[in-house]
Structure 1
Amino acid sequence: MEWVGDARLAAGPEATWYLEAAFTPGAHLGTVYDDPTTPVVVTGVEEVTSIRIPSGRLVVDAPWDDDEFWEYERGLPGRPPRELAVRIPPGVYRVEIAWTAGPYEFMGEHLDGVVCAATRLCISDDPVVGWEMGLSVEDDIARLQPRHIGRFFSDANVGCFADAGAWTTLSAPFRTFADGVPAPRDSEQLAGGCERVCDESQQADLVTFMAESGGVVWLGRTKTGEVAAIVVTSGLHDAKA
């Protein structure tokens, strides 16, 4: 029996087009702002690293935000992370970034306009037949407002994938402050400005990625309804649901 998604969560035509085009090298995702003659082109898909999710529970959120410091100063616990309601098989998964380029000129300087179009957690290589919003464990589908967008916000323009079972340990380096700013942290520096933090006691990881203003979270479903991919598009690319 083939999967039939919930219409309240289904991606609309614009979002579906973007999610598929973003990971297709050579695809055009529009044009450069203020220059309709220069296309924004997908230049490639890069495998940044792998991530261990032993609990099968996934956080897709900012690893910290500006409010964390003030909560820390007052001795208050930070907000809970945005854990996805969907569960995935415990395992090790690829993290990939789709890059685009849209050259432009700013104050007389020519820039390549290379940015991250989307970040993907590859759960399987099975074809995706439909996309839906990635709800959190706190979301009640019965109470969703029309055109609800499953997303997180990030003051620091950073998002992450992380094992929810090890969240406290994995996020701790991002929630340690010195003089009002995040303290230097011991993390693995990856391509594209990403970082990885490991918890060897639980064999779990956290991997950061660029997410300007936050990110919109989408689940790619196979014909049997399994999740094959979890994709985050930049908060600036609020593709219509």
Structure 2
Amino acid sequence: MEWSGDARLAAGTEAAWYLETAFTPGAHLGTVYDDPTTPVVVTGIEEVTTLRLPSGRLVVDAPWHDDESLEYERGLPTRPPRELAVRIPPGAYRVEIAWTAGPYEFFGQHFDGVACAATRLCVSDEPVAGWEMGLGVDDDIDRLQPGERIGFASDANVGCFADAGAWTALAAPFRTYVDGGPVPRNSERLPSWCERVADESHRADLVTFTAESGGVVWLGRTRAGDVAAVVVTSGLPGAKA
């Protein structure tokens, strides 16, 4: 029996096209703002690292929120991260970034217009049959308004994939401050301004990526309904066509 998702979460025609096209090198994702003659081109897919997810519970959220810094320093509880409601088989998965370029001129200066189109956690190599927004464990689908996008916010334009079972340890390096300033993190620096924090007691990871003001989380489902990919985008068209 083929998978049939909830229509309230389904990606519209434009959003589904974007999600497929963003990971197709050489494809055009529209044109440069205010210049319809210059295309925005997908220049390549970069494999950043591998994420270990032993619990099968995936967090897609900002690794920290500025308004929680004081609570954390005082030892007070902070709000839980945005954990997806869907479960993923425990394992290790590739993290990839789709890059685009759209050259433009601004006040006489020329820029290459390189940008991140989307970030993807590759769960399997099975073809994606359909896309839907990824609900969090605390999201109520019955309160979702038509055309509403759901995802996470980020004060610092940073998002992350992380194992929910090891979240406290994995997020701790991002929440350490002295006299109001952040302490240098003991993290692995990855390409494209990404970072990786490992918790060897759980054999779990957290991997950061660029997410302007946050992002919308999308699940790529196979015909059987299994999750083949988890994709994060910023500034993407809404859920409905």
TM-score when scaled to structure 1? 0.96
Q: Which amino acid in the other structure matches residue 32 of structure 1?
A: V
Q: What corresponds to 1:85 in structure 2?
A: 85
**For each residue in 1:73-117, what CA deviation from the matched residue of structure 2 results, as whole angstroms up to 9, or x when unmatched?**
554322210000000000000000000001112232211111100
8 Å Cα contact 2:122/2:228 also seen in 1: yes
Q: Which amino acid in the other structure matches residue 155 of structure 1?
A: D
Inter-partner Cα distance in structure 2 for 1:143 and 1:214? 21
Quote the offset at 1:180 in angstroms: 1.9
Inter-partner Cα distance in structure 2 for 1:24 and 1:212? 22
Residue 170 of structure 2 is aligned to residue 176 of structure 1: no
Residue 62 of structure 2 is aligned to residue 62 of structure 1: yes
Quote the offset at 1:183 in angstroms: 1.8
Inter-partner Cα distance in structure 2 for 1:97 and 1:131? 18
Off by >6 Å, runs of 4+ in structure 1: none
Q: What corresponds to 1:18 in structure 2?
A: 18
Q: Which amino acid in the other structure matches residue 236 of structure 2?
A: H
Secondary structure of 1:168's match? helix
Secondary structure of 1:86's match? strand
After superposition, residues 37-186 of structure 1 pair within 5 angstroms as: 37-73=37-73, 75-186=75-186
Residues 156 and 191 (structure 1 numbering): CA distance in 2 closer, same or farther, change over 3 Å? Answer: same
Q: What corresponds to 2:236 in structure 1?
A: 237
Inter-partner Cα distance in structure 2 for 1:25 and 1:19? 13
Secondary structure of 1:172's match? helix
Residue 187 of structure 2 is aligned to residue 187 of structure 1: yes
Inter-partner Cα distance in structure 2 for 1:185 and 1:133? 32
Residues 50 and 80 (structure 1 numbering): CA distance in 2 closer, same or farther, change over 3 Å? Answer: same
Quote the offset at 1:163 in angstroms: 0.1
Runs (5+) with no aligned partner, structure 1: none
Secondary structure of 2:125's match? coil
Inter-partner Cα distance in structure 2 for 1:183 and 1:35? 42
Secondary structure of 1:48's match? strand
Quote the offset at 1:70 in angstroms: 3.1
Q: Which amino acid in the other structure matches residue 164 of structure 1?
A: A
Quote the offset at 1:11 in angstroms: 0.6
Secondary structure of 1:44's match? strand
8 Å Cα contact 1:216/1:238 also seen in 2: no
Inter-partner Cα distance in structure 1 for 2:150 and 2:180? 30
Inter-partner Cα distance in structure 2 for 1:108 and 1:60? 39
Quote the offset at 1:72 in angstroms: 3.0
Inter-partner Cα distance in structure 2 for 1:201 and 1:73? 24
Q: How many residues align?
A: 240
Runs (5+) with no aligned partner, structure 2: none
Identity of aligned residues (%): 77
Inter-partner Cα distance in structure 2 for 1:183 and 1:68? 16
Inter-partner Cα distance in structure 2 for 1:107 and 1:142? 48
Inter-partner Cα distance in structure 2 for 1:219 and 1:115? 22
Moved more, 52-61 or 172-181: 172-181
Q: Which amino acid in the other structure matches residue 161 of structure 1?
A: F
Moved more, 39-48 or 69-78: 69-78
Q: CA RMSD in A?
A: 1.2
**For each residue in 1:154-184, what CA deviation from the matched residue of structure 2 results, as whole angstroms up to 9, or x when unmatched?**
0100000000000000000001112323321
Moved more, 22-31 or 87-96: 22-31
8 Å Cα contact 1:27/1:42 also seen in 2: yes
